[in-house]
Structure 1
Amino acid sequence: MEWLKSAAASAVSRGPAFGYSFGDRVDLDDSIWALHNGTKKDDGSKCSIFAFDINANKSRLPLAKNALRKWRTLRHPGVVRVLDTLETDTNIYIATERVVPLGWHVKRNALNTETIKWGLYTISTTMRFVNEDASSIHGNLRVSSIYTTESGEWKLAGFEVLSSLKEEDPAIYTYGGLLPDSTRYAAPEIGRGGWDGLKNQAIHVTDSWNMGTLIYEIFNGYFSTADQLSQIKSIPPPMGTPYKRLTQTNPKMRLPISHFLEQGKRSNGFFDTPLIRCCEFIENMGVKDDREREEFLQNLEDTKDQFPEEFFKAKVLPELLKSVEYGGGGPKVFSVVLMIAEKLNEDEWESTITPCVVRLFSSPDRAIRVFLLDNLPRMIEHLPKKVVSDSIFPQLVTGFSDVAPIVREQTVKSILIIIDKLSDRQINGDLLKYLAKTQNDEQPGIRTNTTICLGKIAKNLGQHTRAKVLAAAFTRSLRDPFVHARNAALMALAATADCFDETDCATKCLPAICVGLIDKEKIIRVQAQKTMDVFLARIKTLTANMPDSALPPVDANGVPTGTSAAAGGGGVAGGAPRMGTPQNDASWAGWAISSFTKKLGSVTGEIQAQGTTATSGVSTPAGEESGTLGVPSSTTGNTGSRPGSSSLQRQAFGGMNTNTSRGGGGGGGLMADDGGDDDLDAWGDMDDTPKTVEEKKNTTISGFGRTTMTTTEDDVISSFAANKGKSSLPKGLGKKTTTSTTTTTPASNSTGTGAVKSRPIVSRAVKPAAKKVLPAAATTTAAKKKTEEEGDAWGNDNWDVDWK
């Protein structure tokens, strides 16, 4: 075989240029030709090459030359299509479409009855053309003269003795006997009178006989004598009677092939089959109306298993694709295309279906777009990632803005199918912008599907984008009036809980989920509880390894480890904080009280009276009544004394920048509890924003008394020092008043532990800060407005920004 290839190539190289390359040889029986698979040099397309070696078969050279001449001029759909020919002194080459000998299939018994009927119908149609339209005798109709194309169609060749009766010297009369195995296939009249005897016979007689032998061999196999042809055997009964007339020994009684064809095409005839009707419709599909096209497609779907795969791939599929794109076939035709495409391999898909799909996505036809979106699951595995991201996605996203709700909804659903074939830039950029719009769509179903879509593509989002977008989108959906949208948001939150850190879980997600616990719909309340449990478990997991406290550890004296003892000043070593935070106390109230008493036990030195008498274990300056720290006020019923600036006082109040007064009550420098309710304003505004030093100095807080004053630490110390040693209150402070006046006399030095040095005092008038009380209605309205503003913030914070 290699020798033959080299010989053929050498012969071609010596002769005119031949634009085809030889491949493997295909064995042929009863033929003068050597068949090779070939390729076209220009584009690599497949072809077949019939080669005749002149030197090896000089006696049959007239047959090869006649076949070459007739093959060039004969044009019919049922004839093997010629691409190019080449004739040299040593060889004759005929390049044709890629074909396979029919004998291969017959020997392997690989043909079913419907396929055989379809093939015989095609050959009968071609032979009618040869006999009647071309007024010619084929003379070599047999299995070895028929080939099958890649579409499974049967095509006629073997034109070695094809002769027109209009010619002066028809080749069949002279060279008919040169055909391989001519005696076995010759009609009875030829055996009796030779090939010249055909001059007195009808034009169809020899071809009708050979049509009968062809039918016998296809259904029953090889025959050796003409006597065997009388037995029908496996030939279908409806074809039995016409077959017998084809094989009549009397040529005048022999049935013409055209009549055989007409009998088969009758209603319920042996050629009235779905496959044959399909072939005829496909060839004329462009001129059929919508009703006929719809009926044909329905029949095609019902009988798809009866057709050869090759026929569907190479014959039906191209015609259907043309109908979809240019013939107005629409979705119904394309559904059949996808049915056929299921049997294609990846290369066939990419070369045949993919270009059509890309073009259809650019079509403005909504019906086509919806059909494509519905059937994306059947196509996505065959579409390369580059094709989806570069060609399909830019066209697909136009559906997000379509005026038809069904297009928008199907577009949202399709994202789940193509998400794995999009780039990160497309997912975190363009796609999120479009989904932000559909989450505000007027159709509740589209809003719900957008939420579901976001939940399912969460793993495809970027790490930075994921938490911000999901938290904003899901919390927005939790406020949706459509119950299924809220339920989808809760389910999506539960499914994507791993995407949030502990801060987002506690500050963004849980507050929004809590609203669902009191939803009017039970389905939302149940799902909200489930989602709440998921996030609580998530937070528990994230905080399991957190330290018990962020405060630094302290030693036995309450000094933070690593802090210098001289850093605190005052009477307590190290200036330790007023209260500690023991780690082992079980009760939150217990640790506060025990910590405070522990501090009292750790203070060194004694509380010394300064010219006063002790009462109730607490000392006060002589002649001074207890009252507001640093600003004496009149009291009744309590004459106890306290130190002017003791170390205990410096410990307990050294860190405070504010002053409190309690009118009418007794007590000492430590705030005495009269059994009344604490003022909640003492906790401040509960504002998390840290205050500056100046703000701390000018903070206004309400004390336990009836008066409210604005003061600083310097005011406390200077006022207390200025009144040291006096037996009576300064003028103007003898009665309960809301205004006090201090003098500018420098305070004298005091002795004792923790004495405060004198410093100049700036006189100032302290006005009571009247507590502003809003009317009940105003307060309620303000609170409601704040609540609504805070509620709108969930899901809307930076929503538009996040999608950019």
Structure 2
Amino acid sequence: MDYFRQLSSALAKGINPLPGYSIGDPVLSYDGKSIWKLHDGVRKEDQVSVSIFLLDTSHASPAQIAMAQHAVRKLRSVRFPHVLKFLETSEAQGVIYLAVERVTPLATILDAWRNGKPKNLSSTAWIAWGINQLASAAAFLNEQVHSVHGNIHRNSVFISPGGEWLLGGFETLSTVDEMDWLAQYGSETPSAQENLPPELQYGWRRIAPDPIHAIDSYAIGALAVEAFNNKFPADLTNFSAGRIPSSLHPLLKRMLLPTPAARLSSAELVAAGAHPNGFLQSNELTRAGTLMEEFRVADAFRKEGILIELEELQTRIAPSFVQYRVLPILVEAFCSTPSGHGGMGALDLSTRVLLPLMLGLAKELSTQEWTQALGPTIFGAYTTPYPSLRAALLVGLPIYKNHLDAKTVGARIWPAMTTWFDDRNEAVRGAVLTSIPILLPHLSERVLNNDLLRLLAKTQQDSTPLLRIQTTELLGKITPHLTAATRANVLVPAFSRSLKDTYEQARLAGVEAFAQNEESFDGEASAKSVLPALAPYLVDKNKEVREKAHNTLQQYMGKALSHAATLSTVESELPAPTEMAGHTRTRYTRTDTASRSAFSSFWSVAAGNAASALGDWALAQIDADEAALQTAKAPEVLTPQGQQPEPAPLPLLEQRPADHGMSLGKKSVQDTIVPDAFQTQRDRPVLQVPKLATTKLTPAAHPKPPAATTMPTVRPMAPPQPASTLAAATRSAPTASPAVPTPKSTTPLPTPKPGLSKEEKMAQLQKLREERRTVRNTQFTNL
């Protein structure tokens, strides 16, 4: 339509035809039911939903334009609880805009019922309650404003989000002095023929000002019959009750009498409903509304009685009524405790009665409706310091768990709950453990595998046995949510800790946790970790623990044996001896005392006694040197020219790392290969290599003790070779080099005397190291 194009064009140019409001999608079900088009909208100031009526003057008749302007003027001046609430109006781009509170046409609901949508248990009570509200609005217009509405039908009545019936359609509203307006435009509305009284069947010119309620009372009666029975009866003067309450049926028949003066007025209908035996006395919605008004001003004792009565009515109250009429008052009362006036008595009322009732009333709401009505209140309450309120929030968690998401849990619920694991109140700690399985789907992987496990490790040592049992059971439940690495590192220690509990049922819970989480352990873990942990409890004092441990061990034993059957049966063999650089190298198996001592020191290092291991290795090295001196003496070798013998080359020893720190690691095969010749370290001369043209002499580094965490290797040393052998090797080199001057002979280092004590040997070893360091520095100086 043209006005839609005009509206879109205005919005595209930045022109807002209705300042302060955003115009949304049209309500298509309302098309053709009125001179207006209905749209959803939003008030920009506070994002409150509204409804906006529009009339395109370029496609409207002069009578429709006049009625639209008349309706805006009348609605602006009339303020009543059961009348549409006027918000804003404007006229731009040839379109009249009227903003009111968010509503739904009653015709939309009646059409849904007529098309087969079932009514709920509160539908009958809701219709009677709504008819009473319409009658109250009409009575106000008739008796207080002295006006005739003249346009009451299914398309001029609207439903608020809270389920209240609101009267609109003020296009023909006329005072006693404006009857000409009603007579002129009464027949111009699209639904003018609906609910038309008999006296107007032949034209609106026959309107009589007395009684003033006659037209509106007849229209309300006809609308009530249609709402209850989904259709009009063939004869409104004599119709059956159908679904109309028995107490209301005769009153409606009086409102539909053909004689205007005999009809029951709207004010009389309202009074009849409020009568002790009236049709509203047993109405749940009316009773709930009355209780809510009384709740605002009642004392603590009366408030508890009101809440108990509301709890009995909750299954018969429409969800929309609960959301917009009941919950706001309850939330207001909940947020006002315990500060200020209520004290601890109000806190007790809130935690014991008010909070459970709020959650029960809201359980039928959608997630969006629940979040809007209760979300800020419930999530904000998690910051409370009161243990009773903490426990109440967690006890009610199953009721509102479907309205939670990961963002809300991670930002508002979990951070507060982490401090509740240490709460002094045992009920709070127990409620926290009970609520964890509900929150598991919304917790992040980091929280599950780190934060939660750390907190559960504390509760596993709780002073209350039942909480320790509950923690073990919870660990078994969260296993599927943990990563494989976390399961391998955490579950066995966690379950094993419960097995050491002095409380029998706690030990039984630990055994059952192993039994229920068999899939979390492979065959190797079963054999190395699970079976050793469970075996001691085959002889537990408690028979039930013994039996359960036996059955669980059978499970894991079968798993371990199945894994063992898949392992290889081929034994690995050591490689054969090898020859390298003219020397026959064999594997050296150390069986002497020093080697055994060195090997023992390796295991001491693995156990954390590194200092002791290093001392044992040093003593073993001194013992090996003494044994080598007694069995192998280096012969004196002279050169043919009578010169001093040249130093013998050093034996082939492994290269040690530069640092002196302790480290763990595997030794390669070459690390265990040593030459056949043995020579003590104290008698070993420094190797002198003939100087080549571009090569400098490099003194051989003295072997250093191995790292404390590496198994020491005692290597036999080769006897000194004759100088002639070295000279021959030098002459056979392909590149000639000048003769290397013979270095000054060094004095042999003293040998520690046998039979020394451990302290003396250590002192001797330190002295040997200092002498060797001096010799090495002298050699570098000579070079």
TM-score range, shorter chain: 0.5 to 0.7
Q: What is the SS of the residue equivalent to 1:144?
A: coil
Q: Match of 1:407?
A: 428
Alignment of 1:59 with 2:59, yes or no, is: no
Q: Match of 1:5?
A: 4
Q: 2:405 aligns with which of 370, 379, 384?
A: 384
Judged with a 3 Å threshold, the aligned counterparts in structure 2 of structure 1 residues 181 and 516 are, in CA distance, closer, same or farther, namely closer
TM-score by length of 1: 0.64
Distance (Å, rounded) in 2 between the aligned partners of 1:191 and 1:360: 62
Q: 2:279 aligns with which of 259, 262, 270?
A: 270
Q: 1:433 aligns with which of 451, 454, 467?
A: 454
Amino acid at match of 1:438: T
Judged with a 3 Å threshold, the aligned counterparts in structure 2 of structure 1 residues 275 and 696 are, in CA distance, closer, same or farther, namely same
Amino acid at match of 1:260: L
Q: Match of 1:150?
A: 161
Q: Match of 1:42?
A: 44
User: Per-residue displacement from partner, 1:308-344 (whole Å, max 9, x unpaired)?
Assistant: 4444445444444444434664464444444454444
Distance (Å, rounded) in 2 between the aligned partners of 1:566 and 1:136: 123
Amino acid at match of 2:223: L
Distance (Å, rounded) in 2 between the aligned partners of 1:517 and 1:139: 91
Given that residues 35 and 189 in structure 2 are in contact (C-alpha distance below 8 angstroms), is that contact kept between their aligned partners in structure 1? no
- Pairs within 5 Å for 1:520-669: 520-548=541-569, 552-553=572-573, 560-564=574-578, 655-657=591-593
Q: Match of 2:689?
A: none
Q: What is the SS of the residue equivalent to 1:229?
A: coil
Amino acid at match of 1:51: L
Given that residues 377 and 417 in structure 1 are in contact (C-alpha distance below 8 angstroms), is that contact kept between their aligned partners in structure 2? yes
Q: Report the CA distance between 1:116 and its aligned residue.
A: 1.7
| Unmatched tracts of structure 1, length 5 or more | 554-559, 578-653, 660-683, 700-710, 720-756, 768-804
Q: 1:77 aligns with which of 72, 78, 81?
A: 81
Q: 2:415 aligns with which of 365, 370, 394?
A: 394
Given that residues 176 and 195 in structure 1 are in contact (C-alpha distance below 8 angstroms), is that contact kept between their aligned partners in structure 2? no
Distance (Å, rounded) in 1 between the aligned partners of 2:382 and 2:755: 82
Q: Match of 1:230?
A: 238
Q: Report the CA distance between 1:26 and its aligned residue.
A: 3.5
Q: Match of 1:21?
A: 23
Q: Report the CA distance between 1:358 and its aligned residue.
A: 1.7
Judged with a 3 Å threshold, the aligned counterparts in structure 2 of structure 1 residues 193 and 341 are, in CA distance, closer, same or farther, namely closer
Q: Report the CA distance between 1:22 and its aligned residue.
A: 5.3
| Unmatched tracts of structure 2, length 5 or more | 338-345, 607-611, 632-718, 720-750, 758-783
What is the RMSD computed on CA atoms of the aligned residues? 4.6
Q: 1:105 aligns with which of 90, 104, 109?
A: 109
Distance (Å, rounded) in 2 between the aligned partners of 1:765 and 1:8: 112
User: Per-residue displacement from partner, 1:461-480 (whole Å, max 9, x unpaired)?
Assistant: 45555444333333222221
Q: Report the CA distance between 1:4 and its aligned residue.
A: 4.8
Q: What is the SS of the residue equivalent to 1:562?
A: coil
Judged with a 3 Å threshold, the aligned counterparts in structure 2 of structure 1 residues 317 and 689 are, in CA distance, closer, same or farther, namely same
Q: Report the CA distance between 1:445 and its aligned residue.
A: 1.0
Q: Report the CA distance between 1:411 and its aligned residue.
A: 1.0
Q: Match of 2:728?
A: none
Q: 1:206 aligns with which of 194, 203, 215?
A: 215
Q: Report the CA distance between 1:38 and its aligned residue.
A: 2.7
Q: What is the SS of the residue equivalent to 2:248?
A: helix
Amino acid at match of 1:158: G
Q: What is the SS of the residue equivalent to 1:141?
A: coil
Judged with a 3 Å threshold, the aligned counterparts in structure 2 of structure 1 residues 5 and 168 are, in CA distance, closer, same or farther, namely closer
The percent of aligned pairs where both chains have the same amino acid is: 28
TM-score by length of 2: 0.66
- Pairs within 5 Å for 1:707-718: none
Q: Report the CA distance between 1:307 and its aligned residue.
A: 4.0
Q: 1:123 aligns with which of 110, 134, 138?
A: 134
Given that residues 127 and 257 in structure 1 are in contact (C-alpha distance below 8 angstroms), is that contact kept between their aligned partners in structure 2? yes
Q: Report the CA distance between 1:404 and its aligned residue.
A: 0.5
Q: What is the SS of the residue equivalent to 1:403?
A: coil
Q: Match of 1:671?
A: none
Report which of the two structures shows the higher radius of gyration computed on alpha carbons.
Answer: 1
- Pairs within 5 Å for 1:45-444: 46-54=49-57, 56-87=60-91, 90-107=94-111, 108-109=113-114, 112-165=123-176, 171-172=181-182, 175-176=185-186, 178-179=188-189, 182=192, 185=195, 187=197, 198-199=208-209, 201-219=210-228, 228-234=236-242, 235-271=244-280, 272-282=282-292, 285-289=295-299, 293-294=303-304, 297-298=307-308, 302-304=312-314, 306-326=316-336, 329-330=350-351, 332-444=353-465
Given that residues 32 and 64 in structure 1 are in contact (C-alpha distance below 8 angstroms), is that contact kept between their aligned partners in structure 2? no
Q: Report the CA distance between 1:406 and its aligned residue.
A: 0.6
Given that residues 25 and 34 in structure 1 are in contact (C-alpha distance below 8 angstroms), is that contact kept between their aligned partners in structure 2? no
Given that residues 221 and 256 in structure 2 are in contact (C-alpha distance below 8 angstroms), is that contact kept between their aligned partners in structure 1? yes
Given that residues 22 and 39 in structure 1 are in contact (C-alpha distance below 8 angstroms), is that contact kept between their aligned partners in structure 2? yes
Distance (Å, rounded) in 2 between the aligned partners of 1:481 and 1:58: 93
Distance (Å, rounded) in 2 between the aligned partners of 1:22 and 1:71: 22
Q: What is the SS of the residue equivalent to 1:79?
A: coil
Given that residues 350 and 383 in structure 1 are in contact (C-alpha distance below 8 angstroms), is that contact kept between their aligned partners in structure 2? no
Given that residues 256 and 263 in structure 2 are in contact (C-alpha distance below 8 angstroms), is that contact kept between their aligned partners in structure 1? yes
Q: Report the CA distance between 1:763 and its aligned residue.
A: 9.5
Q: What is the SS of the residue equivalent to 1:269?
A: coil
Q: What is the SS of the residue equivalent to 2:539?
A: coil
Distance (Å, rounded) in 1 between the aligned partners of 2:511 and 2:430: 21
Amino acid at match of 2:388: A
Amino acid at match of 1:39: G
Q: Report the CA distance between 1:522 and its aligned residue.
A: 0.8
Distance (Å, rounded) in 1 between the aligned partners of 2:222 and 2:163: 22
User: Per-residue displacement from partner, 1:266-299 (whole Å, max 9, x unpaired)?
Assistant: 3453223113322333455433455655555555
Q: What is the SS of the residue equivalent to 1:147?
A: strand
Given that residues 397 and 411 in structure 1 are in contact (C-alpha distance below 8 angstroms), is that contact kept between their aligned partners in structure 2? no
Q: Report the CA distance between 1:305 and its aligned residue.
A: 5.0
Distance (Å, rounded) in 2 between the aligned partners of 1:22 and 1:213: 34
Q: Report the CA distance between 1:174 and its aligned residue.
A: 6.1
Distance (Å, rounded) in 2 between the aligned partners of 1:268 and 1:410: 48
Amino acid at match of 2:501: D
Distance (Å, rounded) in 1 between the aligned partners of 2:625 and 2:95: 119
Distance (Å, rounded) in 2 between the aligned partners of 1:688 and 1:493: 34
